Amino acid sequence: MTDSKQVVILGSSYAGIAAAKTILKKQDARIRLILVSPDDRNYFNVAAPRLIAEPEKLSDVFFSVTDFLSKNSKLVSYKFIKGKAVKSNFNERNVIITTTNGDTLSLIYDNLIIATGSRCKEGIFKAGLSKEAICSKIKDVNSSIAKSKKIVIFGGGVTGVEVAGEIGSNFGKSKEVVLYTGMKSACFNLGESISHKVETRLKEHNVIVENNIRVERIDHIERRYRACLSNSDFVEADLILETIGEIPNSEFIDKIYLDDSGYLKTDEYFRVEGHHEIIGLGDILSIGERSLTNLKFCQLSVFSNTANHEIFDYNNTLAPYKKGSQTIIIPLSKNGGVGLLFGWPIPNILVWLVKSRDYMISSASKDLS
């Protein structure tokens, strides 16, 4: 690379920060880095299930994006724009940004990194809201839990069972806690063995598990909630939490570059077909698994090689993305949970040591700052 390059990164959560670290560590003065994100504080949403039970830990899960850039930039010039992409033209290498104060900016790039991730209906379980909004919502949920006699959780994936486990282990003896998985069994995609262990542990925490029933509609009637279910029945509760409905943040991208679910289509090196100057990373990828573990252990090495080739013009061999053996840790209380390490079950003590004791809050800065 002989000339200067303007590299634009869209998104500043796990994938965006990881991409920025990869580029900044080169300390190449020819790079001008622009990082765009709707908020200047990153949220460690991994800990959301613990936070709704212990909101006093909120002060430990937000990290300054500008502090990160200042600390890591050194020789690289950078700019942070608080806003979001609303339109793009890949042929003209242009992306339109609307800032949080209402301005509209047109950014021309040499390389574009799309790391905008995804969001969900219940904003506290994903990045996307402001620090103030997240804190307010989590405190409201915690207050509602304390007042509720019956709590219903919809969603049998990892987030759903983690939330059910935290609420059940803390409040299950005095409140009715029901988890509607919406599938054959909780965490069904992780295999029957893990699924059985998850349901067994949840029941030990006084969580009622209902399978094969999905939510169709939720109404707020006076001070209670009423949910219409897929079996034509309904359930009423004092509090309902939805951990379903993940939506990719890709509205600014032309649909020809997206799959049917709205995720970014790329080749096995994370490059957009016909536009190799554009690289995807993280939850926005169509071919990736949407987890922090997959990002760290399967995606980053691919991204680093691709960035070397496409941004820094190295004559290196590209490394294709390969789906790794399942590694996942699912806390179901402060005392442990279940998990897999490269496809193999791990003991409760390891689940506790790695995640369930503090939901990784003590090490969150490694991923976001």
Report, as ranges of residue numbers, the positions in the chain whose pLDDT lies below 70.
Answer: 1-2
User: Distance (Å, rounded) from C-alpha 31 to C-alpha 8?
Assistant: 10
Provide the whole-model pTM.
Answer: 0.94
Look up the CATH superfamily of 5-120+246-310. Answer: FAD/NAD(P)-binding domain (3.50.50.60)
Beta strands in 155-253 (DSSP E): 176-180, 207-210, 215-221, 224-229, 234-237, 239-242, 247-248
> What pLDDT, in 10s, does the model give residues 319-350?
999 988 889 999 999 999 999 998 899 999 99
Q: Is 324 helix (H, G, I), strand (E, B) or coil?
A: coil
Both structure tokens of 309? 């080739």
Predicted pLDDT at 1: 57
Q: How many Cβ atoms are within 10 Å of 202's Cβ, its own excluded?
A: 24
Instruction: Note the pLDDT tens digit of each residue in 150-192.
Output: 999 999 999 999 999 999 999 989 999 999 999 999 999 999 9
CA distance linking residue 349 with residue 338, whole number of Å: 10
277-307 pLDDT tens trace: 999 999 999 998 889 999 999 999 999 999 9
pLDDT value of residue 150: 98
Structure tokens at 249: 């943040």
Residue 2, pLDDT score: 59
Q: Which residues of the chain are in CATH 3.50.50.60 domains?
A: 5-120+246-310, 126-244
- 358 CB-near residues (< 8 Å, 6+ apart): 50
> Is the CATH number 3.40.50.10320 carried by domain 126-244?
no
pLDDT at 75: 85
> CB within 8 A of 71, min separation 6: which ones?
369
Q: Which two tokens stand for residue 71?
A: 């600390």
The count of other CB atoms within 10 Å of the CB of residue 64 is 14
